Amino acid sequence: MSKPTIFIIDDSSQSVHLLTKMLSYYYDIIGETDGYTALSNIQRNPPDLILLDILMSEMDGFEICKKLKSDNKTKNIPVIFLTVLSDYQDRQKGFLAGGVDYITKPFHPDEVILRIQTHLKLYNLQRELEDSKRNLEELVNDRTAQLIKANEQLMHFQRNQRLSALGTLAGGIAHDFNNILSPILGYAELMRESLPKNSDLHDNLKYIFKGIERAKELNKQILMFCRKTEQTLKPLKVHIIIKEALKFSRASLPSTIKIYENIRDCGTVMADPTQIQQIAMNLITNAFHAMEEKGGSLKVSLTKVNLNFEDIKEPDMVPGNYVCLTVADTGIGMDKALIEHIFDPYFTTKEEGKGTGLGLSIVHGIVKSYKGYITVNSQINKGSEFKIYFPQIEETDEFNESQTNDSILKGTERILLVDDEFPIIALLQEILQNLGYKVTAIADSIEALKIFKSNPDLFDLVITDMTMPNMTGEKLSKEMLAIRPDIPIIICTGFSEQIDDIKAKSLGIREYLSKPILLSSLAKAIRSALK
């Protein structure tokens, strides 16, 4: 074990020699008669303790001590003054300079050694205490970081739990809501089919169909906030949907917010209609929250732009033709630090209970899935501007034809219809019979299976609801396909987390329809399933 190092500073070489001889058995000794040289050596190699004479020729001991205590590297080294002075004021001056003790000349070896031992012990205890303090601080910091991380994970889990519960609730509401819409839509379509072509009631029915479609899409949008839904990308004129979203939002915006729109037909993009509506609604809602307190101006525009290399502001953008949706407000604005996080999942500046922090994150995900881009410009107290760039596609003849083809397909096959909702089963039976089909309608899935088992070849097609008591449509389909693998089945659902189009096809189910079902969609699905 190495011995402690004592540094002696005294302009008397005789005193340095005497102390060295006295202490060298117990300690490693370094002696220096010049104060400046001593300071330089101590800075390079700090000792464990310093013996410092007060009466020095060029720089006295008080000044040397002050310099040592002003340096972070040497400030904690104990300094014992050596002096022939015994005046109280001189002792006080030494302690104020940072000294820990005094040894009076002439030296008494036992006293010198005992004082040095005492202050070395105190110095070592101080260093141990500082090490313990530092270790404790590191431990506390590590523990604090762990607690912060655990708290963030807990909050994330709680958010997910709330969203999961919300998704379950929304699913139940969606199922019931779509079941309510189904007879409204179906009987409205039956009424339209029975009316003379020149009847004034056709115009009234158009508004009913428009309202049903809006309700259906709104229902999808609610679900998209709570869970992922399958994209249905198709060539789309987005200006129609943007106008509808803005019109829908007007009713909820206060009169303190003035709305300016410049929405043009800017061509076609490949997109999901529900997701385009969701993008518009989210951006408009976001602008509203920014102006909620003081009001302001909301500007919504849709323009066609051609981006070249000089126009590109984002590193992943590419030149080309785009349809650009701009939503601008004159609200509170954002700083650069806030803009960096606005697309992060669960990030929100709203108070608890006023948002999930998912709105802009969902918008960002949708736009990126379209290979589009988002830019944001904002200034504090001046407002924000969001620009969404959708890649434009060429409009094809096939797209134009699909938009105008409204012919209703008919048939004469035998259909087993299963649904536990009496209004829906009565409606579908009437619709199918009007299309020429022979229909057996059953309101109980167990009873339907018994009838099918008794004579599997009696039916050419089965149409079943998904969510039913006793036996779901999925289970019923499996049982029927086990009996007769070639039986065409169409499954209908208001909402279900247990089945989707992909899973239905994997089970052998020919077609998957979401309620409320358009007459034309049902007729087309029947002919497709019977091929």
Using one digit for the tens of pLDDT, what is the confidence trace for 243-296? 888 887 887 788 899 999 999 899 899 998 878 888 898 899 889 988 988 899
Residue 484's pLDDT is 96
pLDDT at 225 > cutoff 60 = no
The overall average pLDDT reported for the chain is: 85
What amino acid is encoded at 86 in this protein?
A: S
Task: Name the residue among 384, 382, 383 with its Cα closest to residue 374.
Answer: 384
Class of the CATH domain delimited by 403-529: alpha beta
Instruction: Give me the mean pLDDT over the 63-72 stretch.
Output: 93
Q: Is the pLDDT of residue 177 over 80?
A: no
Contacts of 253 (CB under 8 A, 6+ apart): 259, 288, 298
Once rounded to an integer, what is the mean pLDDT over residues 177-197?
A: 81
Domain 232-401 CATH superfamily: Histidine kinase-like ATPase, C-terminal domain (3.30.565.10)
pLDDT band at 189 (very low <50, low <70, confident <90, very high): confident
Mean pLDDT of 133-143: 88
* DSSP element (H, E) containing 164: helix 109-194
Residue 48 has pLDDT above 60, yes or no: yes
pLDDT given at position 405: 45
Mapping DSSP to helix (H, G, I), strand (E, B) and coil, where does residue 300 land?
Answer: strand
pLDDT for position 10: 92
pLDDT given for residue 347 in this prediction: 56
- pLDDT exceeds cutoff 50 at 400: no
First to last CA, the chain: 94
Please say if the pLDDT value at position 98 is more than 50: yes
Give the whole-angstrom CA distance, residue 224 versus residue 212: 19
pLDDT at 210: 79
**364-388 pLDDT tens trace:** 888 888 889 888 999 999 999 999 9
Residue, of 443 and 247, whose pLDDT is higher: 443
Q: What is the distance of C-alpha 412 from the center of its chain?
A: 53
The pLDDT tens digits of the residues spanning 315-352 come to 677 888 999 999 999 999 988 888 887 877 655 655 54
pLDDT tens, position by position, 410-442: 999 999 999 998 888 988 999 899 999 999 999
- pLDDT on residue 326: 96
- Calculate the dihedral angle through the C-alpha atoms of 111, 114, 118, 120, rounding to the nearest 10 degrees: 110
The share of the chain scoring above pLDDT 70, in percent, equals 86
- 76-85, 152-161, 272-281, 463-472: range with lowest mean pLDDT: 152-161
Instruction: Give yes or no for a contact between 521 and 513, defined as CB atoms under 8 angstroms apart.
Output: yes
pLDDT of residue 377: 92
pLDDT band at 89 (very low <50, low <70, confident <90, very high): confident
Is pLDDT at 496 greater than 70 in this prediction? no
Global pTM value: 0.45
Residues 460, 413 contacting (CB under 8 angstroms): yes
Q: Fold identical between 5-107 and 403-529?
A: yes
Domain residue limits, the chain: 5-107, 232-401, 403-529
Q: Are 79 and 98 contacting, i.e. CB atoms less than 8 angstroms apart?
A: yes
What's residue 402's pLDDT? 41
Q: Round to whole Å and give the CA distance between 416 and 211.
A: 31
Q: What is the dihedral of CA 131, 134, 135, 139, to 10 degrees?
A: 170
Cis peptide leading into residue 46 (ω within 30°): no
pLDDT tier, 228 (very low <50, low <70, confident <90, very high otherwise): very low
- For residue 449, give the amino acid letter: L
524 CA to centre of own chain: 40
CATH of 5-107, one of 3.40.50.360, 3.30.70.260, 3.30.1300.10, 3.40.50.2300: 3.40.50.2300
Structure tokens at 459: 């039916």
Q: What residue type is 402 in one-letter code? A: S
CB contact set of 107 (below 8 Å; sequence gap of 6+) = 18, 19, 22
> How do beta strands 296-307 and 320-329 pair?
antiparallel
C-beta separation of 186 from 516 below 8 A:
yes
Contacts of 476 (CB under 8 A, 6+ apart): 418, 445, 448, 449, 464, 468
Cα–Cα distance, 352 to 458 (Å, whole number): 59
380 is written with which tokens? 């504090």
Chain-centroid distance of CA 140 in Å reads 29
What interhelical angle do 88-97 and 61-69 show, nearest 10?
Answer: 30
Beta-bridged to residue 379, according to DSSP, are 383
| Closest to 288 in 3D by CA, of 261, 324, 256, 247 | 256
- Which residues, listed in sequence order, are joined to residue 52 by a DSSP beta bridge? 9, 81
The pLDDT of residue 150 is 80
Spatial separation of the C-alpha atoms in residues 343 and 386, rounded to whole Å: 12
Q: What is the pLDDT of residue 224?
A: 60
Low-confidence winner among 16-30, 132-146, 192-206, 340-354 (lowest mean pLDDT): 340-354
The SS3 assignment for 493 reads: strand
* Least reliable range by pLDDT among 32-46, 77-91, 355-369: 355-369
E strand or H helix that includes residue 514 = strand 511-514
Q: Taking residues 136-144, what's their average pLDDT?
A: 88
Task: Output phi, psi for 46, to 5 deg.
Answer: -65, 130
